[in-house]
Each structure stands twice: as structure tokens, then as C-alpha cells.
């Protein structure tokens, strides 16, 4: 892997993490948010589902648009939109207005993830696999640390504090892009992003079985993870009696497994290839989800019964996320923005479906979270192995 610029790498890690920071900081504050707006219990879950829906759909347009106009102008516009939307969230008069602002925040944040992935492909070219894993570590570190910070901020200053923290990170990311990033896509396609061309490009992209395999596996894997991301606040705080700060520390410890999985991917992806890494990761996710279900059924709800199996899930997720993106983006150098956007859409589509189902099935117990988590993990395992039987999964090329 070419030696990266430290500044560029830190910027890409921050951009990759921005969407997760926006969510993970807020999760410990959901109860405070409902109380502050005098909203019904569980209604704040819509703020998570709306964000990921907008975050996913926006990537279908942002990625191809960056192939046409360049990464830099599209990224700057997206980050400005993110900051304006986050400011609106702070000024919202009720939960409905907060959710509307949160949707716009998702549209702004999506540019950070998809364009960071495209920029990695621009800079590292055929060696982008390890670099993608490194940038994903930034996102996964935020998943581990942001709930702890969000819990502490909420405990001392209320739900507005984590929103302000997310706004600060977005401001730093914008400044980094303005002062340290020069355009990395020298071969602009003036036809990219046009409606008819866009439909044709996506149709052509999805002809490859490898992209369909990686996209479905990523969608179901992240859906399984999002069931716990969205449902854990209620389970740990309201059902198990943890404080917001205790929840943040517990959840952060659980998802630290993501970093271990991503580090393994970063070191081994060029040797094993994306398909084998994803196969190992999705098996760990399915095994962890099964153990969660068994522990819950045999021993009832407990902190350890939920937390320990989830470490296994997160190690597997830390492998599936970067390896599946690498497997889809690296072979598509001429449309890296489009491929990165589609994979981001698939990831957020899984999260949106999981969030909507979780909100609909809420019954005051932990069973909806546990059962949905197991269902999505099983779907990821089955989808990957059914589609992988065909011999057309594309390996990472050795050179451009």
C-alpha cells in the first residue's frame, strides 16, 4: 500500500466517521430528547431511521455527481448542508421539526462517507483495500467512543450537548477539506449523474454478481448491527437500569470489537481477498447473533448476556464493512463514486429497514431487538453463501 499522507488519512477517517458520530453521540440522549419535547416513549427512534434513510438515498446521487463535478465541490456543499441542518436541530421547536432537520443532516453527512471512499480509490488505486480498512477504523472508533462521550455530555448538559459536539466535528471536517484537500478525481465524466446515464450506469454496475453479493451482505449485516445500535439505549437504560454514562461506556466496550475486525481486514485483505474476509466476518456475525438469542432465551435479559455475544458480532461486522466496500469499489475505478455511493446506499438501506421494523415492533421488552438482530444476521449469512456459489465474484486486482 502506498504510504499515505498523515493529514489526508486523518481527514478521510474523520469524513468516514461523520455519519456514525452524528448518530452515536445522540443515542444516549434519546430519552432526554423525548422528555425535552414531551414526546411518547420510543418516538425518538424515528430520528435515527430518518437520518439513515436520507443518508443512504443521498449517496445514490452524491457519488455519481462527484464523478461529474469532482469530489471537492460536492463535498464542500454537503458539509455546509450538514452544518446548517445541525444548527436547525438545536433550534427545533418540537420532535417533528427535529426529525425533519435530522433528515437534512443525513443528506449532508452522506457526502462525507461516499466521497471519502471514492477519494481512497482515487489516491491508492488498486491498493485501496488496506487504505479503505484504515479509514473505516476511524468510523468504527467513533462507534466505540462517541456513545461514551454522548452519555457524559447528556448527563451534564442535556441532549443539546451531543448535537453541538457533532456540529463541531462537522466544522473541523469542512476546514480540513478547504485547506488540505486538492481534487483527487482528474478524469471528470461530464455525462455522469444525468438521469438516463445514471440509470444505465447502475444497471451496468449491478450486472456484476460480486457487487450484488457484497451489497446484500453489507445491507443485512449492518441491519443486524443497527437493531442493537438503535435498540440498545432502551434495553440498557430503561430495562436494565444503567445510567446514560454507564450505557455509553458499556456500548463503547462492545463495539470496540469493530476495530479489531477492521485491523484484521487491513492487514489481510490483499492476501485473502474481499470475498474470503467477508465470508469469515459474516460467519462471526451469525454466530454472535445466535449466541445472543440463546443467552436471552435461556437466562433472560442481562448485561453480560447481551454484551458478550455482541463483541463477536462486532468483530465480524468490522470485517464485513470494509471488505465488502473494497470488493465492490476497487474493480470499478472508472466509476468509483457511483460504486461507493451504491454500497453506502445498501448499508443504510439495511439500517433503515431494521430501524423501521424495530420501531413498529416495540412492545416494552428486549425481544424485538434480539429477534430482529438474529433475523438480519441470518439473512446476511444466507445471502452471501447463496450468491457466492456462482463463480463470478471479482478479486482485487494486483495493479491498476
Q: Which is higher by pLDDT, 152 or 170?
A: 170
For residues 41-45, give the mean pLDDT: 74
From the list 199, 179, 201, the residue with the least C-alpha distance to 189 is: 201
Residue showing cell 432465551:
297
Which pLDDT score, from 0 to 100, does residue 394 have?
Answer: 45
CA distance to 72, 222, 268, per residue, from 4 (Å) = 19, 28, 18
Supply the pTM of this predicted model.
0.75
Q: What is the tens place of the pLDDT at every residue in 126-163?
A: 666 777 777 777 777 777 788 788 888 988 888 899 99
Domain 8-179+203-387: give its CATH code. 1.20.1250.20
CA distance to 22, 55, 230, 248, per residue, from 354 (Å) = 18, 15, 9, 21
Residue 84 cell numbers, joined:
446548517
CB 46 within 8 A of CB 18: no
Which pLDDT score, from 0 to 100, does residue 147 have?
Answer: 79
First CA to last CA distance, the chain: 13
Q: What is the tens place of the pLDDT at every residue in 190-245?
A: 665 566 667 777 788 888 788 899 999 999 999 999 899 888 878 898 899 888 77
Per-domain boundaries in the chain: 8-179+203-387
For residues 285-298, give the mean pLDDT: 95
Above 60 in pLDDT, residue 392? no
Q: Which is higher by pLDDT, 333 or 4?
A: 333
Per DSSP, the three-state class of 216 is helix
Amino acid at each position: 500500500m502506498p504510504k499515505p499522507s498523515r493529514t489526508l488519512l486523518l481527514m478521510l477517517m474523520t469524513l468516514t466517521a461523520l455519519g456514525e458520530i452524528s448518530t452515536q453521540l445522540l443515542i444516549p440522549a434519546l430519552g432526554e430528547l423525548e422528555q425535552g419535547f414531551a414526546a411518547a416513549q420510543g418516538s425518538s427512534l424515528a430520528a435515527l431511521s430518518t437520518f439513515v434513510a436520507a443518508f443512504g438515498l443521498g449517496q445514490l446521487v452524491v457519488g455519481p455527481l462527484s464523478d461529474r463535478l469532482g469530489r471537492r465541490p460536492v463535498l464542500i456543499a454537503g458539509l455546509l448542508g450538514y452544518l446548517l441542518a445541525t444548527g436547525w436541530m438545536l433550534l427545533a421547536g418540537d420532535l417533528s421539526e427535529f426529525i425533519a432537520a435530522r433528515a437534512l443532516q443525513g443528506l449532508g453527512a452522506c457526502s462525507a462517507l461516499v466521497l471519502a471512499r471514492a477519494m481512497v480509490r482515487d489516491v491508492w488505486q488498486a491498493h485501496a483495500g488496506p487504505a479503505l480498512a484504515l479509514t473505516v477504523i476511524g468510523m468504527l472508533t467513533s462507534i466505540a467512543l462517541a456513545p461514551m462521550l454522548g452519555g457524559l455530555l447528556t448527563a451534564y448538559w442535556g441532549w443539546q450537548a451531543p448535537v453541538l459536539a457533532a456540529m463541531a466535528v462537522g466544522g473541523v471536517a469542512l476546514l480540513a477539506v478547504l485547506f488540505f484537500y486538492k481534487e483527487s478525481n482528474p478524469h471528470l465524466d461530464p455525462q455522469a449523474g444525468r438521469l438516463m446515464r445514471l440509470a444505465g450506469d447502475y444497471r451496468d454496475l449491478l450486472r456484476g454478481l460480486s457487487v450484488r453479493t457484497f451489497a446484500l451482505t453489507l445491507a443485512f449485516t449492518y441491519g443486524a448491527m443497527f437493531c442493537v445500535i438503535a435498540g440498545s439505549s432502551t434495553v440498557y437504560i430503561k430495562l436494565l437500569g444503567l445510567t446514560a454514562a454507564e450505557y455509553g461506556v458499556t456500548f463503547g466496550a462492545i463495539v470496540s470489537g469493530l476495530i479489531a475486525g477492521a485491523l484484521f481486514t487491513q492487514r489481510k485483505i490483499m492476501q485473502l481477498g474481499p470475498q474470503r474476509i467477508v465470508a469469515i466476518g459474516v460467519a462471526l456475525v451469525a454466530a454472535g447473533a445466535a449466541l445472543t438469542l440463546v443467552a436471552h432465551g435461556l437466562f433472560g435479559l442481562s448485561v453480560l448476556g447481551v454484551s458478550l455475544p455482541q463483541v463477536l458480532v462486532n468483530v465480524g461486522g468490522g470485517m464485513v464493512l470494509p471488505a465488502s466496500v473494497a470488493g465492490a469499489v476497487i474493480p470499478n475505478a472508472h466509476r468509483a463514486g457511483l460504486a461507493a455511493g451504491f454500497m453506502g446506499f445498501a448499508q443504510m438501506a439495511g439500517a433503515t429497514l431494521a430501524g423501521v421494523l424495530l420501531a413498529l415492533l416495540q412492545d416494552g421488552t428486549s425481544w424485538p431487538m434480539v429477534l430482529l438482530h438474529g433475523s438480519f444476521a441470518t439473512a446476511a449469512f444466507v445471502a452471501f453463501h447463496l450468491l457466492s456459489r456462482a463463480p463470478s465474484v471479482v478479486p482485487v486486482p494486483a495493479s491498476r
